[in-house]
A and B are shown apart, each in its own frame.
Chain A
Amino acid sequence: GQQLNQSPQSMFIQEGEDVSMNCTSSSIFNTWLWYKQEPGEGPVLLIALYKAGELTSNGRLTAQFGITRKDSFLNISASIPSDVGIYFCAGSYYGGSQGNLIFGKGTKLSVKP
C-alpha cells in the first residue's frame, strides 16, 4: 500500500531553535495534513494544505505543500518546551478512497529548556 516517509524520526533541540521536518511519498497527494500528538492523547490537527505550492502558517508553525505534490514540510520557529510531542504528517493521494488518510510514522520532538 501507499506509504509516507517522514523524517527525521526524532529531534533533540534547544529551546529557541527552529525545527524543520518533512514527509515524502511516491505518489501524488491531493491533501497534506500535519498533526501533533502528546503522550496518551489523540492527535490534534495543526495545519491543512490543499493546493500545490501552498504555504500556510498557524502561529509559529508553517507548512508547505510541495510543488511536485509528493512532499510537504513543517517548520516550527523559536521552539518552546510545550512544542514537545510527536508530529505526524498525513495525506490523501490521487486514486485513494475519498476521505481516507495515509499517516507517516511521526517525528518525535524533544526540547531542552
Chain B
Amino acid sequence: DGGITQSPKYLFRKEGQNVTLSCEQNLNHDAMYWYRQDPGQGLRLIYYSQIVNDFQKGDIAEGYSVSREKKESFPLTVTSAQKNPTAFYLCASSAGTRPFHEEQYFGPGTRLTVT
C-alpha cells in the first residue's frame, strides 16, 4: 500500500534536547511538507521541499531544521531553540507536478511533548 508513515506516534523529550521526527513516503511524490498543529488552530507550514536536496522555510521555521537527501524521506529536527515545541506534527507529500500538484496527502502525525 502506498502512503506516508511518521514515527513515532508519541514522543517525549526533556527541554533543551533536540529531537528528530521521521517522515517516509512511498507515493513517488516529489514534494514534501511539515506542518505544526496546535489545539483549535489550522495547520501552519514549517518547511517544504519540492525536490531532493532542496527545501524552503515556511511560515514558522524558526527553531526547526530539515534535510531532503532522498526522495522518500524528509526528517524534521526540533531544536532546543524552538520556544514552544509541544504540538502535533504532520508530514505531507504531493505529486509536485500539474495538474494535481496541490493535492497534499498526510501522514498519521507525531505528537511531541517536551517537559
- Contact residues on A (Cβ < 8 Å of other chain), bracket: 20 to 34
Residues of B within 8 A of A100 (CB): 45, 48, 58
Give the number of residues in B that approach A within 8 Å (Cβ atoms): 29
Evaluate contact between B90 and A105: CB separation under 8 angstroms: no
Could you tell me if A44 and B106 are in contact, using CB atoms closer than 8 angstroms? yes
| A90 / chain B contacts, CB cutoff of 8 Å | 43, 104
Stretch at the interface among A11-19, A35-43, A71-79: A35-43
* CB-nearest residue of chain B to A6: B42
Q: Give the complex CA separation of A41 and B44 in angstroms.
A: 16
Can you list 8 A-B pairs with a CB-CB distance of less than 8 A?
A33-B104, A40-B111, A41-B108, A42-B92, A48-B102, A99-B102, A101-B104, A105-B41
Q: Please list the residues of chain B having a beta carbon within 8 angstroms of any beta carbon in chain A.
A: 4, 6, 31, 40-43, 45, 48, 50, 56, 58-59, 90, 92, 94, 96, 99-109, 111
